[in-house]
Structure 1
Amino acid sequence: MNYKELIQNGATLIDVRSEMEFDEGHIENAINIPVNDIQARIQEVKDINSPIVLCCLSRGRAGVAKALIEAAGVKEVYNAGGWQSLL
């Protein structure tokens, strides 16, 4: 899966790192929803009308977020791993 291409073609990028980590560096146009906030903001995520690409520092938190989002019924969710791999 080419995550960069998916994002270029309209997928929404959600960075699930902490706000502090996000502020230290992130990909332009990424949405920051820390993994600990996913459940509280699940309706916001469900309202996204495009594929969702998740990133974090290394893949772990994005994996947790992916499971939570899929459990809420969202079908097209991808774990792209570390955010720097998308630069």
Structure 2
Amino acid sequence: MGEITKFYGITVKIFFTGYNPPHFQALYDDTLGIFKIDTLEMVEGDLTDIAQSLVKEWAEKYKTDLMEMWDSKTLKKLPPLE
């Protein structure tokens, strides 16, 4: 699992093997959210509504990059939410 970015105390990471559908993880303090790349829906986890909103705002900007990473299994750093 590799770190993609960090912002406002949230760390975004991605797994490439053994998991479908394409997704990424966001960690904030002791909470975790797993988000589908295509819909940005949190499908598992306990992130607060505010943290979910920040993650979705960031992911909307980089949805294409996230899918390209998933498809190519190539990790790259992305800019944080500003």
Q: TM-score, normalised by structure 1?
A: 0.29
Bigger relative contact order, structure 1 or 2, given CA contacts below 8 A and separation 6+?
1
Q: TM-score, normalised by structure 2?
A: 0.29
Higher strand share: 2
